[in-house]
Amino acid sequence: MAVPKRKMSRSNTRSRRANWKAAVVATVACPQCKADKLPHAVCQTCGTYNGRQVVEV
């Protein structure tokens, strides 16, 4: 079975982990209340979608 020959240096570990990046969540402005919301989903602020009240706030 293949096993590592040497301990991985902190530098190598860190340079690998330096590429773990969080992506910005895409949002759009709600047409009703102008708050940020997920595209194609109910607005969490005013509870409307497509001009219709879907969730009571």
Partner 1 sequence: MPTPTKGARLGGSPAHQRLILANLAQSLFEHGKITTTETKARRLRPYAEKLITKAKRGDLHARREVAKVIRDKDVVYRLFDELAQYWTERPGGYTRITKAGNRKGDNAPMAIIELVTEPVSSNTSNKKTAARKAAKAEAVAALAGETEETPAPAEATDVAVEENVQHADDAPAEEKKDGDK
Question: Judged by CB under 8 A, does residue 33 bind partner 1?
Answer: no
Question: Judged by CB under 8 A, does residue 40 bind partner 1?
Answer: yes
Which residue number, 33 or 41, has a Cβ lying nearer to partner 1?
41
Task: By CB under 8 A, name the one of 29, 33, 35, 41 that touches partner 1.
Answer: 41
Question: Judged by CB under 8 A, does residue 44 bind partner 1?
Answer: yes
Q: What are phi and psi of 22, to 5 degrees?
A: -85, 135
State the number of CA atoms in the 13 A half-sphere of 23 facing the CB: 3
Question: Judged by CB under 8 A, does residue 38 bind partner 1?
Answer: yes
In Å, what is the CA distance from 57 to each residue of 20, 27, 44, 50, 53?
36, 20, 8, 16, 9
